[in-house]
Chains A and B, each alone.
Chain A
Amino acid sequence: MRIPRAILALGLFLAAGPAWAVDDPSEMLPDRKQEQRAEAIGSQLRCLVCQNESIEDSSADLARDLRHVVRQHVARGETDRQIMQWMTARYGEFVRLKPRLTWATVMLWAMPALAIVIGIATAATTIMRRREAPTPLSDDETRRLHELSESPSDATGHD
């Protein structure tokens, strides 16, 4: 029986799974629960060398050290919050891959919504203004219009 190549490729692709940088089993905690917690925390922490990878994904030296630190803290029984605080005390908010809600990040999140609201408001006011029927001419204006249309020689415009 021949397996179609595309299906084989897809199967292999799905079987590969995520490539964790924790390639050395000795790095892992013996307790499965604790190891899973450490991985969850590590995947929230930015590798400060490569910057757009988490320390769990990165193979940088510093990332390995930080993975080790996270596991030490987990084994000591610290909460996620405590470990995050330990990290931000040293590396600042930048170390979080998911930024916390602050005034600066509120502005970031609100920007697309604000842009849409402002766009709709601007479009709506423009359309409304166009739909408004022009106000009828006053008596003065009607008279002036007549004068202008009756004397074309005056149209060059000194008032």
Chain B
Amino acid sequence: MTALPVATAGALGLGFWRMLGGMSSGGFDPHAVNAPILDRSLPDFTLPGLPGQGDGFDSATLRAQKEPVLLNFFASWCIPCVAEMPALRDIGRKLPIWGIAYKDKPEDAARFTARDGSPFARVAADRSGMAAIDWGVTGVPETFLILPGGRIAWHGTAELTDDTFRHEIQPRLQALR
């Protein structure tokens, strides 16, 4: 008779232990709003460029890249986006970063990226924010690591820092080699 409650408690404990283990290893995140896009091919889109900064890009061009690319959603009106700019410029020297201006006036976004030197290899504007919804973006800044062929390997929902780059992105790049 005592075996039943003990066994149940044991099973529950094991369940919770596995859940907590998953939470710390990243296998289970109850708040993972955007987990569905991981390990999938990037969504289709075609976006125009910013004034004086190229013609924008589309999903096919991004998929055709032979090297990994970081894709960063940003906006001139977003304070963490301002804060992450120096880190983006650093990281951009190691790995190309493509930018998408989210719900921003193209002129404002162009001024914003050009202010201290653009960290972006290419930029595009998503004025309506509809392309961002297909990516599962819930706010700016958000960053995706895109592997050759267009597979999404990582998604960050906070401002990008050197620390994030070293601990989240670099190990995934090394795993490719």
Contact = CB atoms under 8 A, between A and B. Distances in A.
13 contacts: A48-B33, A48-B138, A61-B103, A65-B128, A65-B129, A89-B36, A91-B33, A91-B36, A91-B136, A94-B30, A94-B32, A114-B8, A118-B9
Interface in B1-26: 1-2, 4-5, 8-9, 12, 15, 19
Interface string A26-41: 0000000000000000
Given A91-B33, A91-B36, A121 B138 contact: no
A131 to B, nearest CB: 14
Contacts of A49: 138-139
Nearest to A87: B133
Nearest to B103: A61
Interface of B: 1-2, 4-5, 8-9, 12, 15, 19, 30-37, 103, 128-130, 133-136, 138-139
B36 A121 contact: no
A90 B36 contact: yes
Interface in A36-78: 48-49, 61-62, 65-66, 69
Contacts of A61: 103, 129
Contact of A92 (B32, B103, B129, B139): B32
Closest 4 A-B residue pairs measured CB to CB?
A48-B138, A90-B136, A92-B36, A118-B5
A62 B36 contact: no
Contacts of B1: 121, 125
Contacts of B33: 48, 91-92, 94-95
Contact of B35 (A92, A104, A118): A92
A125 B2 CA distance: 7
Contacts of B35: 92
B138 A88 contact: no
Contacts of A118: 5, 8-9
A8 interface: no
A153 to B, nearest CB: 42
Contacts of A156: none
A62 B136 contact: no
A92 to B, nearest CB: 5
Given A107-B15, A121-B1, A125-B1, A65 B130 contact: yes
Interface in A88-112: 88-92, 94-95, 104, 107
A114 B138 CA distance: 37
B21 to A, nearest CB: 14
Nearest to B139: A49
Interface string A122-139: 100100000000000000
Which among B37, B103, B134, B136 has the highest number of chain A CB atoms within 10 Å? Answer: B136
A69 B133 contact: yes
